[in-house]
Amino acid sequence: MDKLFNRSLLAVSVAGLCLGTSLGQASSHREAPFITETPKVDATDFYMFRSYEPGRENSVTLIANYLPLQDPYGGPNYFDLDQDAIYEIHVDNTGDAQEDLTFQFKLTDVVNDIQLPVGDMMVSVPVKNVGGIGPAATDTDNVQVRQEYAMTVIRGDRRSGTRQAAMNETSGTTTFRKPLDNIGQKSVADYAAYASNHVYDVAIPDCGTGRVFVGQRKDAFAVNLGEVFDLVNIANPVGNANRNVEANDLAGKNVTSFALEVPASCLTGSALSSADQPVIGAWTTASLRQARVLNPKPEASGKGATIEGGAFTQVSRLGMPLVNEVVIGLKDKDRFNASQPMDDGQFATYVTNPTLPEILELLFSGAGVKAPDSFPRNDLVTAFLTGVDGVNKPVGVTASEMLRLNPAVAVTPAGSQDDLGVLGGDNAGFPNGRRPVDDVVDIALRVVMGALTTDAPNKDVEFTDGVQVDPADLLTVFPYLNTPLPGSVK
């Protein structure tokens, strides 16, 4: 019977390998069809900025968020990531739309089968923990399932480049611990302290020392998702006075973050004082095995609910915010997220001839909203595909979609940051990288309606979705995103 099952499994695996190449892939807040089926690898937001924690200004912080819309009370399993996936942050420091440096993360489940005496038998418990936890990262005796991760640094192509393991300077190993999600105050009395003990100094090969944290955080993105996708059903999208009058639908949600602080010279290949202003581009991806076979008889001995096989295939991609949500056409959303920046020419029409301004004109013509009518939209090519002249455009850049940062631009201290970034006169903000405080929805709305042009009818209109990030809801130190909301506050 086992041989028969294995033959059947092999046949299904081969079929799965063939199917995997034709399936769509996706990323971000549930905006593409396929990713709704695999939320653990759904990239939601990507931040990259020169670190503004005092004393850390010569470093760059990169934060890649995954697994959106986490309700804090989502037990008993909560929101572990996929140990059969790889999560990556890619950096291009030559402007050719190809990664020169990749930080790859791979997670592993650590299972401690906790059993309690019930009558004359020992019986496994059904919950994640059976007592209080922490604050030390090693306080895991009461934990039944947790996760650890390894970080690999890849130079050159992600598949064929040189690979080196990053070292945990705290433990002297290549293993790092991910904290449990914020179950509640009875399970973890001081979650902030517990999480901070999972911030590690990391020896990055040929780079020096950085810091790393992987774990749950409060979602910092602010947007009224429900109303925006209900035909932009907000009271008044054309008035700056209304920037903070709508409900933030993510205010009660958590997310899982890969936060990495890296010496800037490691990313740029030169000092910040270099005259050529070394601009870096970056994007984040997640990949799954091409074949995933459902196991009809999951076992505790290691044969889980699925069996994975085949090469890793990219299923998630995110650089600039909102691109796949409101720029890429619905039929191409999955294809976009399976693609590489070097191949972005196939999607150029969505940028040079965007549909979002036309939709806004249809919806709000009575309020005087009129789409720009000068094509191709080279202003959007600048914003999304090349970087802004004099701010973050590399010399000889290949047009491609990614988040770009000029880390030679001076840090703006946390208390002085303008959430409109470059549009607000703060060149340390979006689209020169992206900080947690940056209101990328309002910025993107204004840019797509012509803020960077000289002749668009609404170029000076202060478009808004009516929601702002509250700076008080962010940290001013690494990992910058706030302590996640607890499942229970009693």
pLDDT of residue 352: 96
pLDDT in tens, 122-134: 999 999 999 999 8
**Residue 225: predicted pLDDT:** 82
Of 149, 84, 150, 108, which is closest to residue 289 (Cα–Cα)? 84
Nearest to 98 by CA among 109, 90, 88: 90
Asked if residue 331 is part of any domain, the answer here is yes
Does residue 74 sit within a domain? yes
In a domain? residue 24: no
Q: Residue 396 pLDDT more than 80? A: yes
156: left (phi over 0), alpha (psi -120 to 50) or beta: left
Number of domains in the chain: 1
Pick the more confident residue, 90 or 292.
Answer: 90
- What is the residue type of 294? L
pTM of the model as a whole: 0.91
Confidence label for 20 from pLDDT (cuts 50, 70 and 90): very low
| Residue 392: partners with Cβ closer than 8 Å, 6 or more residues away | 279, 404, 405, 406, 409, 431, 432, 433
Q: pLDDT category, 11, cuts 50, 70, 90?
A: very low
Nearest-5° Cα angle at 224, 30 to 214: 55
Mean pLDDT of 162-180: 97
pLDDT tens for each residue of 334-343: 999 899 999 9
Amino acid 276: pLDDT: 57
Q: Which of 401, 411, 466 is nearest to 439 (CA)?
A: 466
211-221 residue pLDDT tens: 999 999 999 99
**In a domain? residue 417:** yes
The pLDDT assigned to 311 comes to 93
Q: Is residue 4 part of a domain?
A: no
Q: Helix, strand, or coil here: 163?
A: strand
Taking residues 301-321, report their average pLDDT.
87
Domain membership of residue 119 (yes or no) is yes
* Amino acid identity for residue 186 in this structure: K
Q: Is the pLDDT of residue 302 over 80?
A: no
Looking at residue 6, its pLDDT comes to 41
* 74-78, 269-273, 443-447, 477-481, range with the lowest pLDDT: 269-273
Domain carrying residue 95 = 35-473
Where in 248-305 does DSSP place strands (E)?
A: 254-263, 280-294
Report the range of poorest mean pLDDT among 138-142, 301-305, 427-431, 441-445: 301-305
What percent of the chain has a predicted confidence (pLDDT) above 90? 73
pLDDT of 316-351, one tens digit each? 999 999 898 889 999 999 999 899 999 999 999 999
Q: Mean of the per-residue pLDDT values for the chain?
A: 89
Q: Is residue 8 part of a domain?
A: no
**Alpha helices, DSSP H, located in 284-405:** 323-326, 333-337, 348-352, 356-364, 378-381
The CA distance from 311 to 133, in Å, is 38
Tell me the average pLDDT across 176-181.
97
92 phi and psi angles, rounded to 5 deg: -110, 115
Angle at 65 between CA 63 and CA 71, to 5 degrees: 140
Rounded mean pLDDT, 303-314: 88
Residue 89 tokens read as 């942050």
Q: Is the pLDDT of residue 143 over 50?
A: yes
Asked if the structure places residue 16 within a domain, the reply is no
Angle of CA points 231, 234, 240, to nearest 5°: 130
Residue 67 phi, psi (nearest 5): 60, 80
Q: What does residue 233 show for φ and ψ, rounded to 5 degrees? A: -85, 65
**Residue 259 is encoded by which pair of tokens?**
């936060």
Q: Hunting for tokens 């976009």 — which residue is that?
A: 336
What confidence tens digit (pLDDT) does each residue in 237-286 have?
Answer: 776 667 888 889 899 999 999 999 999 999 987 555 555 558 999 999 99
More confident residue, 440 or 395: 440
Determine the Cα–Cα distance for residues 333 and 27; give it in Å rounded to an integer: 9
CA torsion, points 204, 209, 210, 211, in degrees to nearest 10?
Answer: 100
